[in-house]
Structure formats: structure tokens, C-alpha cells
Amino acid sequence: MRLFDTHCHLNDEAYQADLAAVLQRARAAGVVRMLVVGYDLPSSQRALALAAAEAGVYAAVGIHPHEAAAATAGDLERLEEMLAHPKAVALGEIGLDYHYENSPRRVQQEVFRAQLALARKAGKPVVIHGREAHADLVAALQAEGGHYQGVMHCYSGSKEAVREYLAMNLHISVAGPVTFKNARKLPEVVPALPPDRLLIETDAPYLTPHPWRGRRNEPAYLVAVAERVAELLGMTTEAVAELTWKNGAACFGLPAETPFDCTGHTG
């Protein structure tokens, strides 16, 4: 079984002490492809350095809505330079977060739209973070063209709202909360998705799936997300792994085959 964790933050300081062991556990669990996602310039640079050094690891570079207030025009130029790297396969994570509202909404919208425009210019997919901002997210996405290669990461909305993202060609990624006993909307959303749009992720170090909830999350735990999605779809875990591998490869423009150097010799 091979799994693609389409959203993790191995660039986070939570892994500073034991990153090699975390990567080893991921690969031993079958998670042989990971997209490491930036949230500001330094974390994007770390994601890219890790991707450059590790087989099967790719980077997304971008400015998270929490960091939007600190963003400058120069930051966008730096992102554009980073996107030229062959392992920088997406722009993200970008979006709107009205739950914490760490940056003013108007600034979040400006920085989000500027990055959507940059992704279009660079011809790269987008990784979108949305929280309690559905109407404004849809409005911004429509205003910047309304058709995207990319993903709504860690989807937490309703099965009605998801149609608007699907209509804009986006993939939908499901994370650890699908395994929580009190999950309400996700068990309805997952079976309602077109099979070719479904992705899975950990969002590690956050959102640790059951039964590890409460601990630091890591890509090896993606198996628990795949298992729960398989239950919801009436499929085997292996079939979900393969489906989401192919969907992730299509979404991010990666080869469908497993890189030879991370199939069995990763220590």
C-alpha cells in the first residue's frame, strides 16, 4: 500500500528534534509521498529545503491568512522565485480564516487574491485554507477566475457548500477530524464527493486522528484517515490509498508511479 499525505507541516518546529525518525515511520507505514506546506516565507523555505533533500517529499510555498498582515510585495516576489524550483509543486497554504482573525479580513482577502493571481501566472496548483469564511472564499475564488487546479485542504464544511468548490474544479482533502467520534458533517461529505476529487492528509502536527488524538500528529498516522474514509465509502483501505494517490498525483502534477528510491530502501 502506498499513501500520499497531501498536507503536512514537517517544516514545523515540532519536528526539529526527530524529523528523520518521523520520515522513517511515515515510509514504514506506506506514506511514501508527502506535500510539506509553508505558511510564511521562512516555513516555505524550510519546506523547499526538505523537499530538495528527500525523495517523495514535495513543497508548497505560500502565506497563510494568519500571516497576511505581515506580508509585503517583496514576499510575493520571493514566493515567485521559490515556485521556479521543480519540487515546489503548489502555492499554499493560502486562504481566509475568520475564526482566529489574526489578520484583518480585508488584508486577508488582498493577500489571498494576490497569491491566486501569482499561482495562475506561475501555472501552479493552489492549497486553500478556509475557516468560517465560506462566502468570502467563494467570492474571492470567483473573482480570480473561478477555475482552479488545487485543493480545499482539511475540508470541514457542509455537503452543500462543497459543491461550490467542486464546480471550480477543486479537489477536497479530508484530514484527521473524519476519525473523531463526534464528526457530523464529514461522514456525509465524503460519500457525496466525486471519487476523482478526494484527497487525504494529516495536517500534521495538528488534528491527530483517533486513536492517537492528544499526541503530536505525524504523516504515519495517515493510515487512520484512509481506514475511516474506506469505511465511509465501503471500500478497502488499499483501494482508498490507491485512489487518493492517483488523485493527489493528478492534482499536483506528479508522476503516478512510486519513486524507485523510496519504495524499500528508506531505512
What is the contact surface with Ni ion in residues (CB under 5 A)?
203
Backbone dihedral region of 19: left (phi > 0), alpha (psi from -120 to 50 degrees) or beta? alpha
Nearer to Ni ion, 89 or 237 (CB): 89
Helix (H) or strand (E) holding 172: strand 171-174
Judged by beta carbon, residue 14 or residue 230, the one nearer Ni ion is 14
Question: Shortest Cβ distance from residue 10 to Ni ion (Å)?
Answer: 11
Closest approach, Cβ 45 to Ni ion, in A, equals 16
Closer by beta carbon to Ni ion, 97 or else 203:
203
Single out the residue of 155, 207, 226 nearest to residue 9, CA to CA.
207
Residue nearer to Ni ion on the CB measure, 8 or 237: 8
Question: Coil, strand or helix: which one is 23?
Answer: helix
Q: From 216, 223, 229, select the one nearest 18 (Cα to Cα).
A: 216
Shortest distance in whole angstroms from residue 8 CB to Ni ion: 8
Provide, rounded to whole angstroms, the least separation between the CB of residue 204 and Ni ion: 9
Angle of helix 105-122 relative to helix 73-82, nearest 10 degrees, comes to 30
The strands making up 57-61's β-sheet, listed across from edge to edge, are 3-8, 31-37, 57-61, 88-97, 126-131, 150-152, 171-174, 198-200
Closest approach of Cβ 201 to Ni ion, in Å? 8
By C-beta, is 47 or 262 nearer to Ni ion? 47
